Structure 1
Amino acid sequence: MNARTAEPSIGGTIDHILSVLPSLIPSAQRVARICAERPEEVAEMSGADLAAAADTSAATVSRTCQALGFQGFQHLRMLLVRDLGAAARATRSREAGTAGWLHSIAEGAGDILRTSLASVDVAAFEAAADAIVAAPRVLLVGTGASGPAAQAIALKLTINGRPCEAPVDGVSQQLTARVLRPGDVCIVVSSSGGNAVTLAAAAAAVEAGATVIGVTSFSRSALAEHSDILLVGGARFQSWDQGAVGAGLVQYLLLSVLQLAVADRMDGDDAERARWAIRDELGAIVAEPSDPDDDSATTVS
């Protein structure tokens, strides 16, 4: 049972359940999955009803709720009822054709984003921002589908006056992590928390004594074991298409908020001068005319 009772913010109960679900034993996973996938039905169930639906015992239902961080089934049920009431709205049928996909995917991603940060621990988030500001050196690590979010936030941090490194390939990430020092920060981004290449870099950072900030969708993943500070967000993917869109957006959203928190902590004349110097340089690069006949001309996209 978790030491701290879970009390997700409004709309975040299912996200919290899904963030813990992979770490549960099979019988508990069945209970948790029914709660996440059929909350309207669970809201009308008793503990015995849920046990029968999951083909397990009432004792397993109780232990599952506690393993998820809730006081018991009635506490979990109350939170699901709360969230269902808050989310009640008219359902619009999907239009046919391209317009239908535009609306459907946008609405699905919006639903994911709306509650995606409910499972982020505020104290951990504050500690992560403080560590990044104080670190002599910051490394961003992310491969595969998590790579774009890591690269984008590395650039935003640099523009805001917090220089950082973000090698693109996994080998460079691991080698760079290995030469970090105590006090340095390694931000490791992996939605699944189980990417072997990313975990190798995280392990190298741990061995080097750096502070590892894990950004993932699952609270008890392999990445959690390597992280000094864990930021968990966005485990709810209703379907492959919405999930494929939502996963990257959630990572970018969470890292963007972290970047804003870091920038806020860096307020001061020196930080502001650094930010303006970088922005001026960026503006000069974008505005610089290029000669189409000059092979050395650089195109900025």
Structure 2
Amino acid sequence: MTPYKSEPPLGGSRAHIKSMFPSLVRSEQRVAQLCLDSPETVARMSVADLVARTGTSPATIVRACKNMGFDGFQHLRQVLLRDLGAAARDGLHDGEMGATGEPGSSEHLVTGIFSRAAHDIRGSLGSLDFAAFDAAVKAIRTGGRLVVVANGASLFPAQSLALRFLASGVGCEAPSDIVSQHITAKLLSERDVCIAISDSGMNSFTIGSARIAAERKATVIGVTSYAKSELADLATHTLVAGAEFHSWNDQLPIGNIVQMLVLTALHAAVTADSLDVERARSAVFEEVLHMVENPE
């Protein structure tokens, strides 16, 4: 498994903390939650202040910071201050990026969803390890068989990725049922690659296929929202993004937007600067055009 980096990029502290949140114990989660709810408050606090505010201990504060991927409390404060300054500079306060129109109107609803999504997408890369991304790209480019497994809400992004690869001339399988996923994973070898997609990183069916692929010595690329999850633990390379979306409007499948963007970027990086890919795309275009012009 590739090591997880501890320095979120500019503006990425919230997404980074969100991606680590489920792996923290309850007392550590109180520290993390305060960082998410009131980063400006935590940035001005001392360890003693944070202990009093969260009802924890100095040791818990240090442990929480370490488990969130920071060197310690001062490192956490520095990152929070950095991102607060960047937000103030760029005018990204909640009040400045809100919905338009009268509350209760369709305009208010739609613009509110889009403005919040746009803001959160910008921050979602705070948890993505680009070294792991590059390693995943190399593994797919140099590997043999390519299989994508996913279930539930992650199934559509998986199917879309497989179609993109096929349309680019890259052989890719994406079985849609659990039995086929497990059988396909069982037939992989150490030259092959399995991309396992699970938003929570805990889907037992997807984990089962990924574990079988890992046992077969295949390279497992895990795509998830959480850096410390079962999928992240067993993956060779883990791509983490999207945890920020779980803090609002859970009835909307907005988290899949980040999955789609990460997978689209993965496909683009794998197929970049390839003459074979360009020839395949041309052939696919001609076939689709023929289908459209000559419907049966």
TM-score (norm 2): 0.90
Q: Which amino acid aligns with 1:285?
A: M
Measure how far apart 1:48 and its partner are. 1.4
Match of 1:270 in 2: 276
Q: Which amino acid aligns with 2:279?
A: R
1:3-18 mapped onto 2 (5 Å cutoff)? 6-18=6-18
Measure how far apart 1:87 and its partner are. 1.9
Which 10-residue stretch deviates more, 111-120 or 268-277?
A: 268-277
Match of 1:27 in 2: 27
Equivalent residues of 2:185, 2:210 under 8 A apart? yes
Q: Which amino acid aligns with 1:109?
A: A
Q: Is 1:286 equivalent to 2:292 in the alignment?
A: yes
Match of 1:212 in 2: 220
Q: Which amino acid aligns with 2:79?
A: L
Measure how far apart 1:243 and its partner are. 7.7
Deviations along 1:92-134, one digit per CA (max 9) or x if unpaired, are 5543211111011111111121111222111111110011112
Match of 1:297 in 2: none
Q: Which amino acid aligns with 2:287?
A: E
Match of 2:154 in 1: 146
Equivalent residues of 1:237, 1:243 under 8 A apart? no
Measure how far apart 1:240 and its partner are. 3.8
1:148-297 mapped onto 2 (5 Å cutoff)? 148-237=156-245, 239-241=247-249, 244-264=252-272, 267-290=273-296
Change (3 A) 1:5 1:136: closer
Q: Is 1:82 equivalent to 2:82 in the alignment?
A: yes
Change (3 A) 1:5 1:217: closer
Measure how far apart 1:238 and its partner are. 5.9
Which 10-residue stretch deviates more, 135-144 or 21-30?
A: 21-30
Count of residues in Structure 1 that have an aligned counterpart in Structure 2: 286
Q: Structure 2 unaligned segments of length 5 or more: list them.
A: none
Distance 1:188 1:255 in 2: 11
What's the % identity of the aligned pairs? 46
Change (3 A) 1:237 1:37: farther
Distance 1:189 1:238 in 2: 17
Equivalent residues of 1:109, 1:242 under 8 A apart? no
TM-score (norm 1): 0.89
Which 10-residue stretch deviates more, 124-133 or 45-54?
A: 45-54
Match of 1:299 in 2: none
Distance 2:217 2:45 in 1: 49
Q: Which amino acid aligns with 2:139?
A: A
Match of 1:137 in 2: 145
Runs of 4+ in 1 over 4 A off after TM superposition: none
Change (3 A) 1:277 1:28: same
Equivalent residues of 1:108, 1:242 under 8 A apart? no
What is the DSSP-based 3-state SS (H/G/I as helix, E as strand, rest coil) of the residue aligned with 1:165? Answer: coil
Distance 2:145 2:174 in 1: 11
Match of 1:293 in 2: none
Measure how far apart 1:164 and its partner are. 0.3
Match of 1:56 in 2: 56
Deviations along 1:258-295, one digit per CA (max 9) or x if unpaired, are 1110011xx343333223212222232233334xxxxx
What is the DSSP-based 3-state SS (H/G/I as helix, E as strand, rest coil) of the residue aligned with 1:197? Answer: helix
Measure how far apart 1:170 and its partner are. 1.9
Deviations along 1:57-90, one digit per CA (max 9) or x if unpaired, are 1221122112222121121111111112222326
Change (3 A) 1:239 1:121: closer
